[in-house]
Amino acid sequence: MSRQPRKTGPTRPDVPGVVAGAVLTGAATIWMLTENGVLQTDDLGVTSALLLVTAGVLGLAASRRG
Amino acid sequence: MEQNQSGPGGFDRDRLQNPQTWRRSRSDRWVAGVCGGIGRALNIDPVLIRVVMAVLILSGPGIIFYIAAWAMMPDEGSDRSAAQNLLGDRIRPDHPWLWPVVIGACVFAAIAMMSSFDFGRFVPGPLIVLAVIWVVAKQRKNGGIGRGRRNQYMGGPNANWSGQGTDWTGRPQDTPPGQQATSAYAPSQNDPSAPPAGPSSSATQRPQDRTVEPVQPVWTEDDPLGLYVDEPAGTTPPVSTRPAGPPAKGMRGIKSIVVVLTGLAIGIAALAGASTATMLVIGLATLGAGMLLGGFVGRTLALLPLGILLAAGAVASTVFPNVPRNFADTNYVAPIGQTITATGTSYQFDAGSVHLDLTKAKFGPGAKVDVHGGAGEVIVKVPPNVDVTGNLSAEMGDVAFLDQHQGGHNAELNLNDLGTDGKAGPQQVTLDLDVRLGSIKVERG
């Protein structure tokens, strides 16, 4: 079975950038939701863990795309 | 990673007097390499510089120092600072008055920030953030020009270290057109009688005449460490051979777009009257979204320091809604017989500590102690038999009264204790103590 050559070039994603962007966006979103009472401070641990998992999944998706 | 350490020579006093020779470190950087570069220049441990800078930033003026150093210090391997990229060669980095003026302006701004002068009205936080973002955006924009110069250096026919026509200090360099220019360190080849440069000509020279061998740099990769790879001229491929180009970096200008969008978001939030913390968080969300989406079409990781800066600013502006000016280090021991009344025992501080020993004091009718703090520690000692009522609260931190303890976010304790005698009276005091970040402890003496 022949393997498809990896797609490289201009559209190759910047995986660390994607992960860092996801973490920053998620942190800011959690902050705003907590400030406005949508999230409780007791849920910060769970939401932070979910954020890291989401960032990891996005990073994996980006690496697969590249 | 190369770490700067204080060498055997220790602190380099001479370099302290020549800040124009300092370079931001590219191998030892957390944000922009300022502390690493200063540590390397002065031959001291950059951790020490970082600790000092962190203290200065937390107390206010450090952010001015850092931004000024960022703007004025060229990146390692470069001779053009961000200020030069922004303002062009109107700024001469070797001008003897430049650094003294910059340092003086920073010190003045720091004193103004930390004094009771209402400096915040003239330089609001959002304006500073927008200015920083604008500078970064301009630097990114000019970075393309800089890359063009680097390409010119790397392989152009008239390449030199800082672009055609300039030497290390940016002054014009007389290089006749059409003549092969070499490194700025190489001897001048202006004399028509001089033999042409190159390996063939060097063979005809006497060995003592050859001071520096001309080199012909070749682009080999995207230069991720900022170190140009030079190879001897003899190994340069023929002109007809196309040199290897840099690897594809995706869409160009994505970082500038994201930075501009972030600035727009912060500006709109400022116009809408949002608080500083909210503005910065909105900027952080915009920046993160830009990094996330832009990462699929280009490189965006370089924006992470800006994100960290925005996050740190959001945290700082949450803890300190205003510029912290009131630093307390109070350690008060009430003398025997001093009467605590309903008023007169009130403390407010932005950062620091308040220790009150009231074990020998008397408490009049309606005696009350108020302490309202930003970040720090509050400890109050009261006599054993005095009735204590009131409230202890910390937005983030610990509060403790005897064997009761609360910690974390919005820690709060309501006090209602009759003392060791277990009976109401004869004296009582109301404690109203709160801090934003820190600890509160009430003890019985």
pLDDT band at B220 (very low <50, low <70, confident <90, very high): low
Pairing of strands B428-444, B327-333: unpaired
d(CA B118, CA B254) in angstroms, rounded, equals: 39
Confirm or reject contact between B294 and chain A (CB < 8 A).
yes
Identify the pLDDT of residue B126: 53
The answer to the question of residue A61 being in a domain is yes
Among left, alpha and beta (phi > 0; psi -120 to 50; other), residue B126 is alpha
pLDDT at A56 over 60: yes
Most confident of B15-19, B141-145, B205-209: B15-19
Nearest-by-CA chain B residue for A26: B285
The pLDDT value recorded for residue A51 is 92
Question: Taking CB atoms and an 8 Å limit, are A28 and B288 in contact across chains?
Answer: yes
Answer whether residue A10 is part of any domain: no
pLDDT > 50? residue B145: no
The pLDDT value recorded for residue A28 is 94
- pLDDT, tens digit, 9 for 90 and up, residues B232-285: 544 555 555 555 555 555 667 788 889 999 999 998 988 888 888 899 999 999
Whether A38 is in a domain gets the answer yes
Residue of A nearest to B250 (CA): A10
Q: Does A4 reside within a domain?
A: no
- The answer, for B319 touching chain A at a CB cutoff of 8 Å, is no
Kindly state the DSSP code that residue B336 receives in the 8-state scheme: T
Residues of A in contact with B281 (CB under 8 A): 28, 31-32, 35
B159 close to B175: Cβ distance less than 8 angstroms: no
Whole-angstrom distance, CA of residue A35 vs CA of residue A37? 6
| A30 belongs to a structural domain | yes
Q: What is the pLDDT of residue B101?
A: 74
Average pLDDT for B420-444: 85
B282 touches chain A (CB under 8 A): yes
Predicted-complex ipTM score: 0.84
Helix axes B125-155, B62-72, angle to 10 degrees: 20
Q: What is the mean pLDDT of residues B219-228?
A: 55
Chain B nearest-CA distance from A46, in A, is: 15
Amino acid at site B88? G
Range of the domain at A19: 15-65
Whether cis (ω within 30° of 0) applies to the bond prior to B426 is yes
Any A CB within 8 A of B351 CB:
no
Query: Nearest-CA residue of chain B relative to A9?
Result: B248
Most confident of A51-60, B52-61, B193-202, B344-353: A51-60
Model confidence pTM above 0.90: no
In chain A, how many domains are there?
1
Select from B281, B288, B301 the Cβ nearest to the Cβ of A14: B301
B266 vs A: CB within 8 A: no
For residue A17, the chain B residues in CB contact (below 8 A) are 291-292, 294-295, 299-301, 303-304
Let me know if residue A24 belongs to a domain: yes
Answer with the residue of higher pLDDT: B7 or B326: B326
Tell me what the pLDDT averaged over chain A comes to.
Answer: 82
Length of chain B: 445
Question: Does A51 map to a domain?
Answer: yes
Structure tokens of B318? 């949450």
Contact assessment for residue B286 and residue B265, using Cβ atoms and an 8 Å cutoff: yes
With CB atoms and an 8 Å threshold, state whether A27 touches B303: no
Per-residue model confidence as pLDDT tens digits over A14-44: 899 999 999 999 999 999 998 888 888 778 8
Q: Contact B51/B201 with Cβ under 8 angstroms?
A: no
Nearest to B242 by CA among B224, B278, B218: B218
Identity of the residue in B251, B299, B408 whose CB atom sits nearest the CB atom of A17: B299
Chain segment B64-90, per-residue pLDDT in tens: 788 888 887 888 877 777 777 777 766
B197-201, B374-378, B434-438: lowest mean pLDDT where? B197-201
Mean pLDDT (chain B) is 71
Between CA B71 and CA B55 the distance in angstroms is 20
Contacts 24+ apart (CB under 8 A), B77-83: B77/B23, B77/B26, B77/B226, B77/B227, B77/B228, B78/B23, B78/B146, B78/B226, B79/B161, B79/B162, B79/B168, B79/B169, B79/B170, B80/B146, B80/B162, B80/B170, B82/B135, B82/B139
Interchain CB distance below 8 Å, A18 and B251: no
Q: What confidence tier does B110 reach under pLDDT thresholds 50, 70, 90?
A: low
Report which listed range, A1-10, B217-226, B290-299, is most confident: B290-299
The pLDDT value given to residue B117: 45
The reply to whether A33 falls in a domain is yes
Residue B309 near chain A (CB below 8 Å) = no
